[in-house]
Chain A
Amino acid sequence: KNEVEQSPQNLTAQEGEFITINCSYSVGISALHWLQQHPGGGIVSLFMLSSGKKKHGRLIATINIQEKHSSLHITASHPRDSAVYICAVSFLVRGNEKLTFGTGTRLTIIP
């Protein structure tokens, strides 16, 4: 079974600050996903990573396969970035992809 740990659980920052959210997992994976969930809202996929780094606008996701660790960075944070960010890892179980989710990081950006 793959364990997924996220840190911090809660993060409050001022608008404009650089944000880092971390994710560690315990066993080999086929991909790592970063998801965003606004209060009362659905879940949106931000990134899927199997190696290296991806960037989309102000969001950057990195993964280190050897260390079993990923980070999600937000540059020039804005109040609309306030949401829960969820890390999930996918791995094969009996030939089918399965997702294991972290408990999420609640990010609040203060204007």
Chain B
Amino acid sequence: NAGVTQTPKFRILKIGQSMTLQCTQDMNHNYMYWYRQDPGMGLKLIYYSVGAGITDKGEVPNGYNVSRSTTEDFPLRLELAAPSQTSVYFCASSPDKSYTFGSGTRLTVV
């Protein structure tokens, strides 16, 4: 099993550009999450989903959007990239209380 797959691994964006971070899991987990990790800080929850068609905001949702049209996919959309969105992004999935994380996407906005 591949687990949780994130693409791309690295990306440089210019201010104002948009992009989608992809996340796919093949474990049939209901719960999926997007986190960002900034230097010296704990991971912060951006958005989460409890199942296909259901999403909700986390602690730091501003500047991001998500969708969950299938159980497997949970893409994160940045519409107008800003330098404050420079971070490492992690997707995770969970069947209930255990978590599987992706390998991360390092995003730099210049």
Q: Which residues of A contact B (CB under 8 A)?
A: 4, 30-31, 33, 35, 41-45, 48, 86, 88, 90, 96-104
Q: Is the CB of A41 within 8 A of B43?
A: no
**B45 partner, pick from A30, A43, A98, A102, beta carbons under 8 A:** A98
B28-50 toward A: CB 8 Å interface, digit per residue (1/0)? 00010101000011111100101
**Smallest CB–CB gap between A64 and chain B, Å?**
19
How many chain B residues sit at the interface, stated as a range, is 20 to 34
**A4 partner, pick from B35, B42, B96, beta carbons under 8 A:** B42
Q: Which residues of B contact A42 (CB under 8 A)?
A: 90, 101-104
What are 23 of the A-B contact pairs (CB < 8 Å)? A4-B42, A31-B97, A35-B101, A41-B104, A42-B90, A42-B101, A42-B104, A43-B90, A43-B92, A43-B101, A44-B101, A96-B31, A96-B48, A97-B31, A98-B48, A99-B33, A99-B43, A100-B42, A101-B43, A101-B44, A102-B42, A103-B42, A104-B42
Q: Which residues of B contact A33 (CB under 8 A)?
A: 99
Confirm or deny: B100 has a beta carbon within 8 angstroms of a beta carbon on chain A. yes
| Complex-state Cα separation, A75 to B18, whole angstroms | 47
**A103 partner, pick from B31, B40, B98, B100, beta carbons under 8 A:** B40
Interface residues of chain A: helix, strand, loop or mixed (majority): strand
Residue of A with least CB distance to B44 = A101
Residue of B with least CB distance to A44 = B101
Q: Which residues of A contact B35 (CB under 8 A)?
A: 101
Q: Which residues of A contact B56 (CB under 8 A)?
A: 96
Q: Which residues of A contact B87 (CB under 8 A)?
A: none
Residue of A with least CB distance to B33 = A99
| Complex-state Cα separation, A100 to B101, whole angstroms | 15
**Smallest CB–CB gap between B57 and chain A, Å?**
12
Sample of 18 further A-B pairs with CB below 8 A, known A45-B98, A103-B40: A4-B42, A30-B97, A42-B104, A45-B101, A86-B43, A96-B31, A96-B48, A96-B50, A96-B56, A97-B31, A97-B97, A99-B43, A99-B99, A101-B43, A101-B44, A102-B42, A103-B41, A103-B42
